[in-house]
């Protein structure tokens, strides 16, 4: 590159063309880099304080140098400015605000200047190449790309993508897959990040979208949009599930994805290192989709809890291990596929659970409503499980129960309301005993039971409540799919999974909007205490009006 600076005109243009072609960048960027290098060398020769410009003709290779000075009335910088009298000596019609160009003779490059110029050009070209790489890959996220393994560093695989490098991080690789330098690998472009040292292209072979894209390459119906992959879940290197639907009633989505004698799915399996794939028909009905997702296990009953966004699945006793899968794999993948937390119960467990709930709710109604066992059991058998349901249901619905009349229904509602008031009073006393201020009772949506929960968590003043974030207050508890009846160790696994208790009031089912409203109401006194300060201008206006 040292010869590039001292080369003749034709060689300069030839070098610019060669570099632009090799690095796949605009020739104008290379020319600009050469001009910057020449300007830097000229400033070292004539003084760095001067404003020196270089212009290299991209066609002929002609090089011109100028020193530029600005015409001003009063000179502050004698290297870059000139007064009107001095300017008119150089250019008769000069006036303030003009720029006078003073041509400079060509410069000779020594070894040091040539080396410095070389570094400048290299840096400019590297910057342009990095920008070109980023622009090329930034819109390709989600595509599958083929590259060659260049090296393996600390478990991360660096892949040569031709005009850039990508990296497959350890957690984005298929477990137990062995790759060697020189191997060709296909991977998903997961993310492209602009960084100082150049764009970072993160690749993945473990992401569910990698499997989706492989199916799109193998199944023309997916590529054409006739069949759609609605959901996908993977345990990389072991098992995967995909939910598919056909937009053409004459085409079976599962059969199309499997292919003749399994040719299509086997091509995907081989690329994913033998990972077994369950292809499941997708359904807009959640219960149906859950039943399909738990295949090959048979499902006896599905109960959806929309409030907690959980699904309880009851299976025959001999199907429990099949529904759960090895180390919980089947139910875990089904949960990821459906986006719902799934609880697996056997028919025996489900029956015992329902019996226990029946006994518990019956005893609660007996004690709270002061009724006999038969009446309490009748309420539970009709689907009532909480005092609020009895107190606030339409009286006609309560009176329509066999053996009930309007008088009995009215009496039950009256007793339920009194029982709720007793609970509220007990919670109020408990809340005050915990030291929770009465001001918190004025906040929207908060019941006395919620205030007791806040007090137990150490939130006793408006400031304590105002300091919380929304998710700290109302986020629901998150738990992995539970597997009941799975041997004696199941209760320990369940408790370990449910250690994330969510927000302080997560068990009460408040929405994020309600949580926001509560917190903003608690913060209102902060702003009420701030009196707006009047400006000096406002005081002056007030004085003049008086």
pLDDT in tens, 484-503: 444 433 433 343 334 455 78
The per-residue pLDDT for 365 is 85
User: Nearest CA to 461 among 477, 437, 483, 432?
Assistant: 437
Predicted pLDDT at 209: 93
When pLDDT is averaged across residues 497-518 and rounded to a whole number, the result is 76
Q: Which pLDDT score is estimated for 483?
A: 47
Encode 447-515 in three state secondary structure. CHHHHHHHHHCCCCCHHHHHCCCHHHHHCCCCCCCCECCCCCCHHHHHHHHCCCCCCCCHHHCCCHHHH
Percent over 70 (pLDDT), the chain:
82
Q: Which has more pLDDT, 195 or 158?
A: 158
Q: What number is the average pLDDT over the span 500-507? A: 74
Residues contacting residue 369 through CB under 8 Å, at least 6 positions apart: 376, 387, 390, 412, 415, 416, 419
pLDDT for 15 beyond 50: yes
Give the containing element (helix H, strand E) for 244: strand 239-246
- Band of pLDDT at residue 370, cut at 50, 70 and 90: confident
pLDDT score recorded for residue 208: 93
pLDDT score, position 205 = 93
148 vs 407, residue with greater confidence: 148
pLDDT, residue 489, reads 38
d(CA 472, CA 239): 35
In contact, 10 and 61? CB cutoff 8 Å = yes
pLDDT at 505 over 60: yes
Higher pLDDT, 502 or 355: 355
Instruction: Give per-residue pLDDT as tens, 456-484.
Output: 989 999 889 989 888 888 887 654 445 44
Better-predicted residue by pLDDT, 54 or 165: 165
Task: Write the CB contacts of 193 (distance below 8 Å, at least 6 apart in sequence).
Answer: 199, 200, 202
- 10 Å Cβ neighbour count for 147? 22
Res 536: pLDDT: 39
Instruction: Choose between 265 and 78: higher pLDDT.
Output: 265
**pLDDT at residue 48 in the model:** 73
**What pLDDT is recorded for position 133?**
74
Lowest mean pLDDT among 113-122, 149-158, 258-267: 113-122
Q: 3-state DSSP call for residue 160?
A: strand
Neighbouring C-beta atoms of residue 185, cutoff 10 Å: 19
In this structure, what DSSP letter does residue 180 have? -
Cα 299 to Cα 297: distance, rounded to the nearest angstrom:
6
Percent of the chain residues topping a pLDDT of 90: 19
Place 86 in a pLDDT band, splitting at 50, 70 and 90.
Answer: confident
Do residues 333 and 241 make contact, with C-beta atoms less than 8 angstroms apart? yes
Residue 315 in contact with residue 347, Cβ under 8 Å?
yes
pLDDT tens digits along 284-307: 998 899 999 998 888 888 888 776
pLDDT band at 393 (very low <50, low <70, confident <90, very high): confident
Neighbouring-strand partners of residue 200: 193
Residue 406's H or E segment, with its range, is helix 406-433
Q: Which two tokens stand for residue 299?
A: 């499902």
């Amino acid at each position: 590159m040292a010869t590039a600076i001292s080369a003749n005109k034709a060689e300069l243009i030839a070098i610019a063309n060669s570099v632009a072609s090799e690095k796949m960048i605009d020739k104008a960027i290379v020319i600009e880099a050469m001009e910057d290098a020449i300007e830097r060398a000229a400033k070292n020769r004539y003084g760095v304080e001067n404003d020196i410009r270089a212009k290299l003709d991209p066609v002929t290779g002609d090089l011109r140098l100028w020193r530029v000075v600005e015409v001003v009335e009063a000179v502050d910088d004698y290297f870059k400015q000139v007064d009107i009298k001095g300017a008119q000596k150089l250019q008769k019609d000069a006036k303030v605000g003009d720029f006078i160009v003073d041509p400079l003779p060509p410069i000779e490059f020594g070894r040091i200047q040539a080396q410095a110029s070389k570094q400048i050009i290299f840096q400019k070209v590297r910057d342009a190449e990095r920008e070109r790489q980023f622009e090329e890959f930034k819109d390709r996220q989600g595509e599958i790309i083929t590259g060659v393994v260049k090296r393996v560093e600390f478990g991360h695989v660096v892949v040569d993508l031709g005009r850039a490098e990508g990296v497959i991080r350890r957690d984005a690789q298929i477990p137990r897959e062995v790759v060697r330098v020189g191997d060709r690998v296909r991977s998903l472009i997961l993310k492209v990040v602009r960084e100082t040292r150049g764009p970072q292209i993160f690749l993945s072979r473990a992401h569910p979208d990698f499997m989706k894209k492989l199916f799109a390459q193998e199944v023309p119906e997916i590529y054409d949009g006739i069949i759609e992959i609605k959901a996908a879940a993977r345990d990389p290197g072991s098992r995967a599930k995909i939910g598919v639907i056909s937009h053409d009633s004459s085409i079976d989505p599962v059969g199309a994805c499997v292919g003749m004698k399994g040719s299509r799915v086997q091509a995907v399996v081989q690329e994913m290192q033998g990972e077994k794939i369950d292809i499941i028909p997708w359904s807009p009905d959640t219960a149906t989709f859950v039943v399909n997702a738990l295949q090959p296990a048979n499902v006896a009953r599905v109960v959806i809890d929309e409030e907690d966004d959980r699904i309880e699945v009851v299976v025959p006793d001999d199907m429990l291990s099949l529904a759960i899968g090895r180390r919980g794999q089947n139910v875990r993948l089904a949960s990821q596929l459906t986006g719902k937390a799934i609880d697996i119960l056997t028919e025996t467990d489900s029956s015992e659970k329902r019996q226990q709930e029946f006994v518990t709710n019956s005893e609660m109604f007996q004690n709270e409503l002061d009724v006999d066992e038969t009446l309490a059991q009748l309420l539970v058998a009709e689907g009532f499980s909480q005092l609020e349901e009895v107190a606030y249901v339409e009286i006609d619905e309560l009176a329509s129960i066999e053996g009930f009349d309007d008088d009995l229904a009215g009496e039950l509602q009256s007793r339920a309301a009194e029982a709720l008031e007793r609970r509220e009073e007990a919670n109020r006393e408990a809340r005050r005993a915990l030291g929770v201020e009465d001001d918190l009772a004025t906040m929207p949506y908060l019941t006395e039971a919620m205030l007791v929960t806040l007090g137990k968590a150490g939130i006793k003043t408006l400031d304590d409540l105002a300091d919380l974030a929304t998710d700290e207050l109302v986020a629901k508890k998150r738990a992995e799919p539970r597997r009941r009846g799975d041997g004696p160790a199941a209760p320990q696994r369940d408790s370990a999974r449910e250690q994330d208790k969510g927000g302080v009031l997560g068990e009460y089912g408040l929405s994020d909007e309600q949580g926001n409203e509560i917190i903003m109401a608690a913060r209102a006194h902060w702003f009420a205490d701030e009196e707006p300060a009047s400006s000096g201008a406002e005081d002056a206006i007030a004085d003049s009006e008086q």
